[in-house]
Amino acid sequence: MKQQIMKILSNEKIAKDIMKMVLEGDTSSLTKPGQFINIKLSGKYLRRPISVCDYNENTITIIYKIVGVGTEQMAEMTAGDTLDVLNGLGNGFDTSLSGENPVLIGGGVGVPPMYGVCKELIKNGKRVKVILGFNSKDDVFYKEEFERLGAEVFITTADGSMGTKGFVTDVLKGLDYSYFFTCGPMPMFKAVEGVAKTSGQYSFEERMGCGFGACMGCSCKTKYGNKRICKDGPVLIREEIIW
């Protein structure tokens, strides 16, 4: 974990209420896809945990949804502004377990961390399928970005305005895959758990105090004992989760 002031290189709208921000700074404490950063905003007491979509030697890309006063404030920031960031938090996904043809399942703001996973798996020579679930066509983002990495992409929308009408599990049911990685809302997780044919990893969300394991604010029970979503998670493996 590192604390630093990062500079905003860009902050743009990419779908309805969805913003993409690129930050510049030291990214050496990020080691795996699925980790997150914790952002201090002026006038707000607690930091805002946001998952990392992508990173390289000196930039971090985050994609966030405008849902409250904190993300509204972030959406108004512009290139050149700076943010106080705690960097490299959480365990991230373990892509070494993927097998040869894994499937990635992202729902809404659960899509961004899947991008980093996809990039790493394709770099390691895996054949990757990606299912991205949204409510409607206006909510869809990052379809082309996943395709550009070389993944086979399936889109589902609840209203049928783009891709398959329905939910990610409507596509998942018909696919063959060696392993799965997923991030999204709890109802989607429960649906995935109901139909998944292999082992896999889920990235959870919880209200956090500190984001680095000190306050026990985001604890959950697992088959392997109590875990802190922020420090021992956010990624849990399918076999340890108590639903």
Sign of CA dihedral 152, 158, 164, 169: positive
State the minimum distance, in angstroms, from the CB of residue 32 to another protein.
18
β-bridge mates for residue 163, sequence order: none
Q: How far is the CB of 222 from another protein (least distance, A)?
A: 11
- Cα–Cα distance, 91 to 229 (Å, whole number): 9
CB of 35 to another protein, least distance (A): 16
Cα–Cα distance measured from residue 109 to residue 182, given in angstroms and rounded to the nearest whole number: 11
- State in angstroms the smallest separation of the CB of 108 from another protein: 16
Instruction: Give 82 or 198: the residue with its C-beta nearer to another protein.
Output: 82
User: Closer CB to another protein, residue 126 or residue 231?
Assistant: 231
Q: Which residue's CB is nearer to another protein, number 194 or number 209?
A: 209
Residues engaged in binding another protein (CB under 8 A) = 1, 3, 40, 44-47, 86, 206-210, 212-221, 226, 231
Which C-beta is closer to another protein: that of 158 or that of 216? 216
- List residues bridging with 75 in a β-sheet: none
The CA distances from residue 166 to 10, 99, 162, 171, in Å, are 33, 28, 10, 9
Which of residues 88 and 102 has its CB atom nearest to another protein in the complex?
Answer: 88
User: Which of 110, 121, 95, 127 shows the shortest CA–CA distance to 167?
Assistant: 110
Task: Evaluate whether 62 touches 50 at the Cβ level (below 8 Å).
Answer: yes
Cβ 3 to another protein shortest distance, Å: 7
